[in-house]
Structure 1
Amino acid sequence: MAKTLINFLSEISFFSEVSQESLKHLCNHITEETYIKNEVIFEKDTIGNSMYAVLKGSVKVHDKGHIYGTLSIGDCFGEYALIDNETRSASVTAIESTKVLKIEREHFLDLIKKDSGFAQGILSVMIKRHRELDTIQERLASSKQEIEIANSKMKGLIDGAMDAIIMFSDDFRIVLTNPSANILLENDDTLQRNVLFFFDEDSAHLIESIVKAEDDKKSINNYLPNIVKVIGSHNTETLNEGTISKYGTDTKTFYTLILRNIEERLVAEDKINLLTKQTQYLAEEIQELTSSYGIIAEDKSMKDALNLIHQVAKTDATVLINGETGTGKELVARAIHKESNRNDKPLIRINCGAIPANLIESELFGHEKGAFTGATISRKGRFLLADKGTIFLDEIGEMPLELQPKLLRIIQEGEFDPVGSSKTIKVDVRIIAATHRNLFEFSKAGKFREDLYYRLNVFPIEVPALRNRGNDVCLIASEMITQFSKKLNKPIVELSETEKALLTSYKWPGNVRELQNLIERAVIVSQNGIINWGAIIPNNTISTDIPQASIKEKILTSKELVALERENILKALKQTKWKISGINGAASLLQLPPTTLTSRIKALGIERPI
């Protein structure tokens, strides 16, 4: 076995000049390793400490998806790891089930020290390799045809590349460019020009520092760590990503810079990011809608507000919506945007009272990377997201005083500076603001800028409180009951006159939002289409206030009272599916003894339909 291994090693080019006796010493410290298909033997940029020889199977030398070549039985790789302590310049992966011999640096160097014959053999191989390279160069130099063929192949490869390829010497003089590079540099006569002159100061410094840092290395092949800016001969500036590699001899070194213009990609990514942000904000807005029922109005006060919406919607005038919390100011804002000429652009909403004072400036105007602690990336503000559309500033009265001049500047001049940036951004945004506060009194008290108040109050709209909208509360409640019943798969409940009177008698301090929450809770707890409104509505006064209120509005005749009683009993029977007694019976719903209810059914001539 040892003899076979020695014969195998002697056939490997790296050990071809080493004696059989020295190879025998090497065999004492050699190991075998087996790798399955697609298993990585070592990865690029890892520190190497051993070389390998393929005993069986085959491997590929590659950098990610790029394959430099393949090696099979008798080929070796990783030899330089026996001599230096540098990182691997490429990755090696088994193409199939592969067995390799592994020679570690520690044993190799130890053998070099102890066995002069071994050292002499390795040195002879290295010299032979250099002589072979010299012979090849001489052969190429003496054969014009071979040179032309080689140049033709190289030229075809380089000229056909879509990326810009720039080769330059160690003194930064350009020695070769391809057509893509000439287009990028806006110059067809770049040979012997300083390559650094075609970059801005930061990019030139980056490339220069990489070259100087890699001076002592025989070869490099690295991605540029940052995007570089190329300035063409016609002063066109482009952003590029790329790689830099090094090749050459001990006396002359060259570098290859491969650049790819990423302007279009950055624009596309920026557009995607903007659209993603807009989608995100729109999704948030949909979730935050007070309801999906639109604006329901029969009362004159709300119809007057709707009339103002129609008047102002087609203009670009700034609108200030006033009203108590929960009255539906956001619905008014959406109605204005939907009816405006900007309805194909986004409506971006921000609640000025829900965002911490130290973050609201960034939310509105965006920030640059590093503008403050935690700003690890640049961010587009909501004013930029709303460009060509509408921005709805809810609870504008809560905006910090120190930020109000910046908002005033946008209203007056349509421009702003992101946090941490000196670059002014122009936007075309229609502003709608809303508040439950008296901004005029706020401005007089010094809590709100007076000039900003007048700028916002161009077209004021007052949204009336729900308690002042008369029968609208019943219309809205009926619509909400229908919607929530469908959503929760519950029987739809119709409001009786008594229940309507109960709803209109309540003061609704939380307005439409409170009504929505109450209706949703009522539908959730309803049983067989029955809702105990007396238990749902706070501070219920159904037993005393409602009859008095009803009597004040209309005096009922005896026939009307009988008809009303008959209708009420029928409704209870229908809701309970004609069940009279029991927990879910009509008698319980009407709060009557079952015997009394049975007597009234007979007296009123109520019969269950067949």
Structure 2
Amino acid sequence: MSNITDELELKGWLMDRLPYEMVWVREDSQIIYANARFCKGVGYSLKECMKLKVSDINVTVTPESWKNHWEEVMTKGAVQFRAVHKTKKGKFYEVEVHVQKFSYNGNSYICGTTNEFSESSFYKNLIDNTHSIANVGGWELNLHDGSILATNCALDILNAENSEELTPPKVIYKFKDSGRFKFLLGEVIRKGIAFDELFETKDSPPRYIRAVAKPILKGDKIYKVLGVYQDVTEIKHKENDVTLYKTIIDNAQDLIYVYNDKGDLLHYSESLIEKLGFSKKELNKMSMFDLDTSVTREFYNSHFEELREKGLHRFEWLISRKDGTKFPVDITASHLKYYDEDYSCAVVRDITAKKMRDLKLYEALEEIKFLKERLENENEYLQEEISNKINFNNIIGQSQAYKSVLIQVDQVAPTEATVLITGESGTGKELLARAIHNSSGRKNRPLIKLNCATLPKDLIESELFGHKKGAFTGAIANKAGKFTLADGGTIFLDEIGELPIELQPKLLRVLQEGEYDELGGTKTIKIDVRIIAATNRDLKEMIREGQFREDLYYRLNVFPIHNIPLRARKDDIPLLAQFFLEKYSAKAGKTFKRLSKDTIDALMHYNFPGNIRELENMIERAVIVENGPTLKPGNWIPEKDIVAASNDFKSFEANQRDYIIEVLDHTNWRVSGPNGAAKILKMKDKTLFAKMKRLGIEKKISLK
């Protein structure tokens, strides 16, 4: 034994210069010699190496596997294989091993030449470059000792510095779904169940990694796991883009066809199913000629020729649905070249609505112009209203008599009923109209007001219904009428009894049909407007005298509200007077705070023929001439109109009734004729009869 050792040592200087790791081993796997390159590779000195056995370097070797290996080498003479060597520091590296037998002095030995596989040759570079180009990295997990080998590309893909970071306990945390990855690794390690799945990394932005692993078996035991990591982020993004584009196409309202020059329908958007009425199964069997029987082969060939020449063909067409109905479309077909085959991608847009819009374009533009003018007119009108508005949002009153009026307002406001407000001048009829409008469903649209008594007769029609430029002398521009401004809202026609008889049919048409014609206009205007009218005149009397249309009266008098005079609601005088005092004191910069008891008494004893308007004017005058803080009586209260408060006063109608009865008694209840009561009262017979009926004068009468 010592002889061969001595001889090998003598020849060691030659072995050390060889570019390979070399080691000599005897039958019991004891290392008997190793050259310097081998010692450097495993990290041991020669002396240390000669105390080692093969299983100290290749930890996968067992006594049984070594026995089988020795017999194979002895039988074949030479064997080549790959193995993993362990260094003195515990690092593993893969090697290619070439062993052959030799004999000396009747004893057999093995000489092993090893070359580190990770540094070996052209093939390793080729594999690494291939992996890098394909973004594929490989790894191998040794289940015997838990060691792992990984290519540089695998490390790069998972941003790892060394192979240790790719061991199962660490690599799972590089993925968002670490639980899933851990489960799959467990399945392949314990049960040998391979996997091939896509995982998302925790990077920002995340990347998509394809992870593949499969077991390597020895007999029925798993001793290694081989795996691959492939960065497919770019591929995934492209797939997502394709999916997005397909989703966009399928959700497009336009119809999209892809077909070849033979007329085969290759692809279509989902919109075809809904728009044409065919099922997906039916469409999949159709050609363009089945889908549209009006398409001839001659037209189709011509269509494709134009696509090849110009790349685009745009035209209008009529497309048929499954039920046989047709609709107009605009078709834009584009030429596609794919694998040297000609295709057409046609985007088909339904232009039914466009055709209808084209027909109505002029009217639409006119309507826009009209609405613009209306908005400008409304704005101008509302600005005027804002500057003139005096507390229209509040109705002041606590008297029981006035509460019945407010109850009527509350009842009718939510409805669409036409309202006729009657009562003496100055009682606040306009205030009631505004309260009705503000409590209605039209409160977000304007309340337009017009006093029929303030305009000349020849201008009322234009003011109400508007006019076109040139409709009459002085009509230098188009003008929107009050009904146009009130569309969707409410119009308040004050002093309706002053509306000229010749205009009353036009107002009646608005009430009945909801339409009217502008002066000089060529088309009928439809409107949706609520009408509230007011008057201090006796419209029934006007009907009898032929000054007001009876049909118009009944159209206006759907819901009558009689606004009582101030003298019938005297309990409200102190409240109203205090309100006007505070209002005008602030305007005049004076310090009035209250009314004296004498002032209140004086006001309560005044009958206010001008009603609330007169009270307001009276307080405004008092604020100007008096000084505060308490308003005392003065010459601002007209003494000659002060009357003693008495419960004996009769209403105007009661006095009327008494006087008519007195005249009838004088004429022996003769109404008509030269000596009748109508002659004395200077009234028409029919008028007197109607008034007698209204006042309850029911005694027997004579017609002579």
Q: Comparing both chains, which one has the higher relative contact order based on Cα–Cα distances under 8 Å and sequence gaps of 6 or more?
A: 1
TM-score (norm 2): 0.40
The structure with the largest strand share of the pair is 2
Larger radius of gyration: 2
